[in-house]
């Protein structure tokens, strides 16, 4: 993949000036249209060998594009906040909104590539990392992002000459020599870098190898690629990267895991109060332990209206140090959230290791309410299952214990609770027209829940179904499950 | 102020239970109303002597209030991101939106109080810090925040007993002994703490001293205070903390600093190109210098439509490393920004030391377009002058070089540029109906600019007026000014 880039490619000054003039006008016009339309973000990855002039190429982009809508995110060694979260967290954090351009300097490829070159990971691990990146980029593309991945290349001889020259120049290129690779590693970079580029060059996020022996040639090549990609995207009606898979088919007998639950289970008052206290103490001790500092806890509560999520959450948080937990009630997304990929608004709440996040409703909204109420396309909720699994796998891999609850009650019990709520003085418990509407779609929700549990109950993040018909029984089961999962992890 | 808190205050268990029951229902109902209305945030500061049970009191609040809308922000020693920004930055970052409750544990008082107790600052410095805090809280109150400041107090004897007990209990209160003060400092805390409380107890943000010798008494006292404050706020129509000051009066001859500018100044092509390059190189070197790492640069560009802000900004950024600068075009605020104090959306873009932020339009919108177009109350733009001065003073104090430009052109020149723009192919330069409307209010803007410059050209952050009738001349003056200001600072 790098072979043709190692040939000599040169552009003379006059041709460059002429080309540049046209390119710049066209780029500015295209950028302006992207900014105006606000329908997709442009994400440009900058990678390649040292000394290829990546910084200069970026600088050139600032001459050609409007810097008001172009932002460079540079990533080096992870800092304190980044180290205590999943690897991709910092890239998620910085994802540009629709209509904006971002340059990712030191992209998500750097860490696995460096680790492979220095042999701290083996080939199998390297491939797993690349696979995870492929899934991440597929998600971005499906969410509409235009992704351009540039590999700035030099042959070994070109690199040697370039680095010598940089060394001899005062100032200017001092970054180059601080970077992780060096001439003697050129062979490894070419081997592993090519492997990486081949594995991760996809239709929706291709690698573009830029021969960088000549600065003018390099910049024009990059600029033309960007222009072409922008124009293509602006002038063709882009759909999702793939056609939607066949819809989920309900099983003929319409049975779901929910049907297997025994909702008659109860806990007596005496057992409840005694066990509640002992389980809360157990949880408090677990979370306060030394070992927990390198772990973390992420709790997801889902259930139909009036299933008792709020009350259960209060019994859990009562056991926790307020400095270390946050409850996130998930309501309508803000406009900043709507301008970014679906999972962004959950990634931004991923806690640091040692902390606890409690989600009252969650990212599963996409495959529950959004599916049933047809608030998103079929293709969107269908792909959400694997996107969610990827998200949770990363959380688990970083040390988080992910515990997910479905609080189940019967159709009749829900009615009883609605009626009770309507007579209670606290406005807090008022039943909204939405609640009544949702209730009419009971069966549709049931099938959606069944599919959700079938498709997202993974080893890293299994679902626990809670018989919540009796509130006391349900709360105890939740607390015990949380304790067991944390205990097993520590 | 602490005297009566040192008396013995006790509440027996039965009275507590009875009180708690009523308090809890009333608190929940009041909180629900705050959440529903979304008209103001509630900010509760938690401070006081060690061992007073601040953590326990917070924990109690989580039992009484709905944790979905209550968030604790705990602050200890500043981390990497916090150290490289103004002191208040981390508190600004975490300000709750309207309708939410925040507990500030380790509030903005802790650092000055600790420094005073350990005598790393003198009394005059301490008072200056307290004054700055008063201004910060006044701004919060003016922006609608309900602020409650709790000082949890123990007498020296009570504290001694309490700490002994905590030490003897396994687990539980280990945080206490890690904290900054200790028994022998009790006298200093009382002296300096009282001074602090007296200086900063205002009508809109009073200190409430909570006797904490008895846990039940402590919690009921705190809970009642919160309830009363919420009810008072919910049931009275709250206005700004102060009545608007008299309006700014235009000088009888209607002359402003803008009239004194000589817009006939020009730079020849030859001078322009030569000087532009040399000034860009000079700026690049300055920003790349070792000394700049502990400073930073914040550029503000204001000017009428078509004054040349965009083009000038591009000439500045061309000199900078894209990894270290960001351009912020200021457009309409997002809904997350609208839910917080006016300056929040600018604080969130305050760069770390060593970096450069360029604002194309800025917080001055409040005293320019918002004033002229009557998009905010008179009281709001009138108090904005001092709020802005406070903001910029903090930036300067943290090491930032703050450079502000007003790009001035004549009424005729604006017309010429509008007409030119309308025939240029690039849509980018189209003139909007808004631009024409603004143009008709030329004089009103002129007076607003005059007032702005008079009131916000401070020593820490002076305005520079740019004769921008000739684009070349204007750009050179901007670059030179930036270089001079940075050079003087390093």
Residues B209-217: what's their mean pLDDT? 95
Higher per-residue confidence, A164 vs A33: A33
Could you say which of B63, B68, B80 has the minimum Cβ distance to residue A79? Answer: B80
Q: Give the CA diameter of chain B.
A: 89
Q: What is the DSSP letter of B427?
A: G
Closest CA in chain A for residue B315: A63
**Distance between CA atoms of B289 and B283, rounded to whole angstroms?**
10
**Distance between CA atoms of B258 and B6, rounded to whole angstroms?**
61
**So what's the pLDDT on residue B239?**
56
pLDDT digits (tens, 9 = 90+) for B467-478: 999 999 999 999
**Distance between CA atoms of A380 and A139, rounded to whole angstroms?**
10
Predicted complex ipTM: 0.88
* B359 phi, psi to nearest 5 deg: -105, 120
Residues A67-87: what's their mean pLDDT? 93
pLDDT at A425 over 70: no
Give the three-state DSSP class for A108: coil
Minimal C-alpha gap between A1 and chain B (Å):
29
Could you say which of A71, A72, A427 has the minimum Cβ distance to residue B32? Answer: A427
**Distance between CA atoms of A267 and A225, rounded to whole angstroms?**
66
Is B326–A29 a contact, with Cβ atoms under 8 angstroms apart? no
Q: What is the DSSP letter of B267?
A: -
Give the three-state DSSP class for B342: coil
Closest CA to B405 of B331, B351, B476, B326: B476
Tokens 């960001």 correspond to B326
Give the three-state DSSP class for A484: helix
pLDDT at A178 over 80: no
Is B426–A29 a contact, with Cβ atoms under 8 angstroms apart? yes
Higher per-residue confidence, A139 vs A187: A139
Residues A193-212: what's their mean pLDDT? 93
**Distance between CA atoms of B104 and B61, rounded to whole angstroms?**
13
pLDDT at B215 over 60: yes
Count helices and strands (H / E) in chain A: 20, 10
- CB contacts, 8 Å: B318 with chain A: 59, 62-63
pLDDT digits (tens, 9 = 90+) for A110-160: 999 999 998 999 999 999 999 999 999 999 999 999 999 999 999 988 988
**So what's the pLDDT on residue A250?**
63
Is A322–B69 a contact, with Cβ atoms under 8 angstroms apart? no
Q: How confident is residue B185, by pLDDT bands cut at 50, 70 and 90? A: confident
Q: How confident is residue A179, by pLDDT bands cut at 50, 70 and 90? A: low
pLDDT digits (tens, 9 = 90+) for B97-145: 999 999 999 999 999 999 999 899 999 999 999 999 999 999 999 999 9
Does domain A3-235 fall under CATH 2.30.110.10? My reply is: no
**So what's the pLDDT on residue A481?**
98
Residues B157-170: what's their mean pLDDT? 82
**So what's the pLDDT on residue B12?**
93
Element (H, E) at A102: strand A101-105
- Residue ranges of alpha helices (H) inside B38-109 are 54-64, 80-83, 89-93
CA B69 remoteness from chain centre? 23
- Terminal CA-to-CA distance of chain A, rounded, Å? 45
Mention every residue, 6+ apart, whose C-beta is less than 8 A from residue B53: B152, B162, B212, B215, B218
Instruction: For A155-287, list the strands marked E by DSSP.
Output: 207-211
Tokens 């839910």 correspond to B339
Q: What is the DSSP letter of A147?
A: E
- CB contacts, 8 Å: A312 with chain B: none
Is B426–A67 a contact, with Cβ atoms under 8 angstroms apart? no
pLDDT at A249 over 70: no
Is A59–B322 a contact, with Cβ atoms under 8 angstroms apart? yes
**Distance between CA atoms of A353 and A327, rounded to whole angstroms?**
16
- β-pair type (A400-408, B70-74): unpaired
Residues B409-431: what's their mean pLDDT? 83
Is B334–A335 a contact, with Cβ atoms under 8 angstroms apart? yes
- CB contacts, 8 Å: A74 with chain B: 323
pLDDT at A102 over 50: yes
Q: Flag whether residue B74 sits within 8 Å of chain A, measured between CB atoms.
A: yes
**So what's the pLDDT on residue A236?**
80
**So what's the pLDDT on residue B200?**
95
Q: How confident is residue B247, by pLDDT bands cut at 50, 70 and 90? A: low
- Of A48-57, B176-185, B214-223, B352-361, the one with minimum mean pLDDT is B176-185
Which whole-number Å values give the CA distances from B180 to A206, B104, B163, in the listed order?
55, 17, 14
Minimal C-alpha gap between A245 and chain B (Å):
36
> Percent of chain A having pLDDT more than 90?
79
pLDDT digits (tens, 9 = 90+) for B438-452: 899 999 999 999 999
Q: B220 and B11 in contact (C-beta within 8 Å)?
A: yes
Could you say which of B58, B63, B70 has the minimum Cβ distance to residue A318? Answer: B63
Q: What is the DSSP letter of A4?
A: G
pLDDT at A242 over 80: no
- CB contacts, 8 Å: B335 with chain A: 334-336
DSSP codes joined into one string, A251-306 = PTT---GGGG--TT----HHHHHHHHHHHHHHHHHHHHSGGGGG-EEEEEEEESTT
DSSP codes joined into one string, A400-463 = EEEEEEEEE--HHHHHHHHHHHHHSS-GGGPPPHHHHHHHHTHHHHHHHHHHHHHHH--SSS-E
Average pLDDT, chain B: 91
- Return the residue in B322, B332, B358, B432 with the most chain A beta carbons within 10 A, the one to mutate for interface testing: B322
Q: B477 and B467 in contact (C-beta within 8 Å)?
A: yes
Q: How confident is residue B166, by pLDDT bands cut at 50, 70 and 90? A: confident
**So what's the pLDDT on residue A328?**
97
Residues A196-223: what's their mean pLDDT? 94
Closest CA to A220 of A3, A48, A45, A14: A14
Touching B: A residues 400-429, CB under 8 Å: 426-428
Q: A71 and A101 in contact (C-beta within 8 Å)?
A: yes
Fold of B257-489: Rossmann fold (3.40.50)
Q: How confident is residue B408, by pLDDT bands cut at 50, 70 and 90? A: very high
Q: Flag whether residue A71 sits within 8 Å of chain B, measured between CB atoms.
A: yes
**So what's the pLDDT on residue B382?**
93
Could you say which of B72, B318, B360 has the minimum Cβ distance to residue A322? Answer: B72
Is A314–B58 a contact, with Cβ atoms under 8 angstroms apart? no
Touching A: B residues 168-187, CB under 8 Å: 171
Joined together, the tokens standing for residue B470 give: 């000739």
Which whole-number Å values give the CA distances from B457 to A194, B402, B406, B440, B463, in the listed order?
56, 11, 11, 27, 5
Q: How confident is residue B180, by pLDDT bands cut at 50, 70 and 90? A: very low
pLDDT at A176 over 60: no
**Distance between CA atoms of B283 and B320, rounded to whole angstroms?**
8
pLDDT digits (tens, 9 = 90+) for B356-393: 999 999 999 999 999 999 999 999 999 999 999 999 99
* B11 phi, psi to nearest 5 deg: -130, 125
Joined together, the tokens standing for residue B139 give: 């701004």
Strand partners, A360: A301, A329
Q: What is the DSSP letter of A352?
A: P
pLDDT digits (tens, 9 = 90+) for B306-344: 999 999 999 999 999 999 999 999 989 999 999 999 999
> Percent of chain B having pLDDT more than 70?
93
Q: A111 and A142 in contact (C-beta within 8 Å)?
A: no
**Distance between CA atoms of B247 and B478, rounded to whole angstroms?**
33
How many residues would you count in chain A? 490
Residues of chain A with CATH 3.40.50.300: 3-235, 257-489
Residues A174-188: what's their mean pLDDT? 60
Average pLDDT, chain A: 91
**So what's the pLDDT on residue A243?**
53
Closest CA to B49 of B121, B124, B102, B114: B114
**Distance between CA atoms of A69 and A28, rounded to whole angstroms?**
11
Could you say which of B58, B314, B427 has the minimum Cβ distance to residue A32? Answer: B427
**So what's the pLDDT on residue A180?**
45
Could you say which of A70, A72, A336 has the minimum Cβ distance to residue B336? Answer: A336
Q: A141 and A204 in contact (C-beta within 8 Å)?
A: yes
Q: What is the DSSP letter of B213?
A: S
CA B251 remoteness from chain centre? 31
């Amino acid at each position: 993949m790098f072979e043709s880039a190692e040939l000599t490619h040169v552009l003379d000054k006059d041709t460059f000036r002429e080309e540049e003039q046209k390119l710049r006008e066209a780029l500015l016009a295209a950028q302006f249209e992207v900014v105006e339309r606000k329908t997709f973000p442009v994400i440009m990855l900058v990678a390649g060998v040292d000394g290829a002039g990546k910084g200069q190429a970026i600088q050139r982009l600032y001459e050609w594009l409007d810097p008001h809508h172009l932002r460079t995110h540079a990533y080096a060694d992870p800092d304190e906040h980044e180290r205590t979260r999943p690897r991709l967290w910092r890239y998620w954090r910085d994802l540009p909104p629709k209509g904006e351009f971002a340059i990712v300097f030191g992209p998500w490829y750097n860490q696995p590539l460096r680790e492979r070159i220095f042999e701290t990971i083996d080939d199998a691990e390297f491939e797993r990392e690349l696979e995870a990146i492929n899934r991440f980029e597929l998600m971005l593309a499906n969410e509409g992002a235009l992704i351009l991945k540039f590999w700035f290349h030099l042959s070994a001889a070109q690199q040697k000459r370039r680095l010598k020259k940089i060394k001899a120049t005062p100032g200017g290129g001092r970054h180059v020599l601080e970077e992780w690779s060096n001439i003697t590693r050129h062979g490894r970079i070419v081997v592993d870098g090519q492997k990486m580029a081949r594995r991760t060059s996809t239709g929706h996020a291709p690698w573009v190898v830029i021969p960088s022996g000549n600065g003018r040639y390099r910049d024009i090549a990059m600029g033309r690629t960007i222009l072409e990609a922008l124009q293509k995207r602006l002038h063709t009606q882009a759909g999702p990267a793939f056609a939607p898979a066949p819809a989920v088919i309900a099983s003929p007998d319409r049975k779901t895991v929910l049907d297997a639950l025994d909702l008659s289970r109860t806990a007596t008052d005496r057992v409840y109060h005694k066990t509640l206290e002992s389980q809360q103490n157990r949880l408090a001790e677990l979370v306060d332990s030394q070992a927990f500092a390198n772990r973390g806890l992420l709790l997801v509560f889902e259930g139909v209206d009036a299933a008792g999520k709020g009350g259960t959450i209060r019994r859990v948080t009562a056991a926790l140090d307020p400095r270390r937990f946050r409850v996130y009630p998930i309501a309508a997304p803000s406009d900043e959230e709507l301008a970014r990929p679906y999972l962004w608004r959950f990634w931004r709440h991923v806690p640091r290791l040692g902390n606890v996040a409690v989600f009252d409703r969650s990212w599963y909204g996409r495959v529950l309410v959004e599916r049933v109420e047809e608030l998103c396309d079929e293709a969107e909720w269908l792909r959400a299952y694997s996107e969610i699994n990827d998200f949770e796998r990363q959380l688990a891999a970083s040390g988080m214990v992910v515990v997910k609850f479905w609080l189940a009650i019967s159709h009749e019990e829900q009615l009883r609770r609605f009626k009770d709520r309507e007579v209670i003085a606290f406005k807090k418990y008022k039943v909204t027209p939405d609640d009544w509407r949702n209730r009419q779609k009971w069966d549709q929700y049931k099938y959606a829940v069944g599919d959700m549990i079938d498709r997202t109950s993974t080893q890293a993040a299994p679902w626990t179904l809670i018989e919540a018909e009796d509130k006391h029984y349900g709360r105890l089961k939740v607390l015990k499950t949380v304790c067991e999962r944390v205990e097993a992890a520590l």
